[in-house]
């Protein structure tokens, strides 16, 4: 089923509006993204939901319609960040349409501009930033239990999870890895495309990560035949034909593991925050955390780690010795 057919199957919107939504989604989505199909679906679903709610054409939508939609989303229990993201997609649709002279004449303005809610503060509370060590251990054990049962998806998800937890790498950086991005000897050396388009290499010394990864590849029957361009993580559902796993696909499993472990609503990006907190605890240095996360700006690191609990003492004994104390 194509993306266009999928949209038509779930909405009664006029065909012209359906086409416009799909054209907007296509124009604003990276053609090379491994999550392209998921993004197209999510974007079109958000726009279709809005226009089905207001029961108006794009040229008739008002600022009040946007605020009414916001109230409905909030009433349905969506988080502030999710509400903001959905309304931002409506705004993106209008900004895209207004670049066309003919459409701009009919639409005249973007109704979201004066109705958009205030952007939520990034990672507002401590609870959304990181898992406690105990909760992280509970989550890892829940996934490990499935891996230990011999299930290939469990082995894949366990290797993926501890990859995220022990490296702090971003969601897309891990899920998009290919066999050619890795060098495996005593340790694993990963060369990955990172945010901003640069490439970054890092060593992963944890033997547990190496063991879990090789166990997954061996169990899936792929270890001996892997080639440079093969995705490291693949789907194992029927008829997937070795297709690469998307981060959306892993996140669904990740959230299910968290619920089964009694942790409630846990987000994958929390693994990166947890890594930052743990590096901060071990090093006592914001600079060390910045380097471990690959941030160019220390201010970005401070979003992840507001403070260092206890600064590690690296110098007092040496200075005391030099003073003859």
196-243 pLDDT, tens digit per residue, is: 667 778 889 889 999 999 999 999 999 999 999 999 999 999 888 889
Among residues 263, 312, 311, 299, the alpha carbon closest in space to that of 122 is found at 299
283-288-294 Cα angle (round to 5): 140
Element (DSSP H or E) covering residue 121: none
State the maximum Cα–Cα separation within the chain, in Å, rounded to a whole number. Answer: 85
Where exactly does CATH 1.10.443.10 map onto the chain? 133-264
pTM over 0.75: no
Selection from 70-74, 281-285, 294-298, 318-322 with the highest mean pLDDT: 70-74
- Model confidence at 128: pLDDT above 60: no
38-47 pLDDT, tens digit each: 888 889 999 9
Residue 204, helix vs strand vs coil: strand
8-52 pLDDT, tens digit each: 445 578 999 999 999 999 999 888 766 788 888 889 999 999 999
Kindly give, in sequence order, each residue whose CB lies less than 8 Å from that of residue 58, ignoring residues fewer than 6 positions away: 17, 20, 51, 93, 94, 97, 107
Strands ordered across the beta sheet of 182-184: 182-184, 188-193, 199-204
For residue 297, what pLDDT band results from cuts at 50, 70 and 90?
confident
Residue 99, helix vs strand vs coil: coil
pLDDT of residue 2: 46
68-85 pLDDT, tens digit each: 999 999 998 887 878 888
Identify the CATH number of the domain defined by range 133-264.
1.10.443.10
């Amino acid at each position: 089923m194509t993306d266009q057919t999928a949209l038509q199957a779930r909405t009664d919107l006029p065909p012209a509006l359906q086409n416009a939504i799909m054209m907007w989604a296509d124009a604003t989505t990276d053609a090379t993204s491994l999550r392209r199909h998921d993004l197209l679906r999510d974007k079109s679903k958000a726009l279709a939901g809005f226009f089905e709610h207001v029961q108006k054409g794009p040229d008739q939508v008002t600022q009040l319609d946007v605020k009414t939609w916001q109230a409905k989303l909030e009433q349905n229990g969506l988080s502030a960040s999710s509400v903001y993201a959905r309304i931002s997609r409506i705004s993106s649709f209008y900004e895209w349409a207004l670049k066309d002279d003919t459409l701009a004449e009919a639409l005249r303005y973007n109704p979201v501009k004066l109705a958009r809610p205030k952007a939520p503060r990034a990672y507002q509370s401590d609870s959304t930033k990181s898992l406690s060590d105990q909760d992280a251990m509970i989550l890892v054990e829940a996934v490990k239990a499935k891996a230990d049962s011999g299930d290939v998806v469990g082995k894949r998800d366990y290797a993926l999870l501890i990859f995220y937890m022990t490296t702090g790498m971003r969601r897309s950086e891990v899920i998009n890895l290919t066999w050619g991005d890795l060098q495996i000897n005593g340790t694993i050396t990963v060369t990955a495309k990172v945010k901003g388009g640069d490439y970054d290499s890092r060593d992963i010394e944890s033997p547990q990560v190496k063991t879990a990864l090789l166990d997954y590849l061996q169990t899936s029957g792929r270890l001996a035949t892997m080639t440079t361009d093969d995705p490291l993580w693949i789907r194992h559902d029927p008829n997937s034909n070795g297709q690469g796993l998307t981060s959306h696909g892993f996140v669904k499993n990740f959230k299910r593991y968290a619920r089964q472990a009694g942790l409630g609503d846990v987000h994958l990006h929390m693994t990166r925050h947890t890594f930052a907190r743990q590096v901060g605890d071990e090093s006592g240095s914001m600079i060390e955390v910045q380097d471990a996360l690959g941030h160019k700006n220390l201010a970005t690191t401070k979003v992840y780690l507001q403070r260092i609990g206890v600064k590690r003492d690296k110098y007092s004994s040496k200075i005391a010795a030099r003073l003859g104390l």
